[in-house]
Amino acid sequence: MSGNEWLIIGMIGGFLGLMMIGIPVAISLAVSGFVAGYLGFGPMLFNLMPARLYGVVTNYTLMAVPLFVFMGVMLEKSRVAENMLETIGKAMGGVNGGMGLAIILVGVLMGASTGIVGATVVTVGLLTLPSLLRRGYAPSVACGTICASGTLGQIIPPSLVLILLSDIVGESVGTLFAAAFIPGLVLALIYVLYLLILGKIKPEWMPAIPAEERAGITGKQLTKDLLRDVCPPLFLVVAVLGSIVGGIAAPTEAASMGALGALAIALAFKRLNWKLVKEALHGTLTISAMVFFILLCAQPFSLAFRGLGGDQMVHHMFEMLPGGELGALLFLMALLFVLGFFLEWIEISYIALPMFLPVFMNYGTDMVWLSILVAMNLQMSFLTPPFGWALFFLKGVAPPGVTTRDIYVGALPFVLLQFAAVVVLFQFPSLVTWLPEAIGW
Helices of type H across 202-309: 211-214, 219-229, 231-245, 251-268, 274-307
Say which residues have a Cβ less than 8 Å from residue 167's Cβ, sequence separation at least 6.
59, 61, 62
Distance in angstroms (rounded) separating the CA atoms of residues 129 and 350: 34
Distance in angstroms (rounded) separating the CA atoms of residues 280 and 40: 45
- Contact assessment for residue 432 and residue 179, using Cβ atoms and an 8 Å cutoff: yes
Return the closest-CA partner of residue 17 out of 1, 31, 2: 31
Distance in angstroms (rounded) separating the CA atoms of residues 420 and 184: 13
- What DSSP character marks residue 59? -
The whole-number pLDDT of residue 116 equals 60
Q: What SS3 class is residue 22?
A: coil
Give me the helix-helix angle, 173-201 and 160-169, nearest 10°: 140
C-alpha radius of gyration, the chain, whole number: 22
Distance in angstroms (rounded) separating the CA atoms of residues 188 and 182: 10
The whole-number pLDDT of residue 105 equals 81
Spell out, as residue ranges, where the chain has pLDDT lower than 70.
Answer: 1-3, 81-82, 85, 89, 93-94, 111-120, 122-123, 127, 209-219, 311, 314-315, 318, 341-344, 347, 386-387, 389, 397, 440-441
Burial of 80-93, coded b for 16+ CB within 10 Å and e otherwise, reads: bbbbbbbbbbbbbb
- Contact assessment for residue 123 and residue 167, using Cβ atoms and an 8 Å cutoff: no
Q: What SS3 class is residue 388?
A: coil
Identity of the amino acid at 233 = P
Say which residues have a Cβ less than 8 Å from residue 197's Cβ, sequence separation at least 6.
none
> Residues 33-74: pLDDT tens digits?
889 888 887 777 778 788 878 887 887 777 877 887 788 778
The whole-number pLDDT of residue 288 equals 81
> Is the bond leading into 158 cis (omega within 30 degrees of zero)?
yes
The whole-number pLDDT of residue 190 equals 93
Domain ranges for the chain: 61-283+310-438
Largest CA distance in the chain: 76
The whole-number pLDDT of residue 226 equals 76
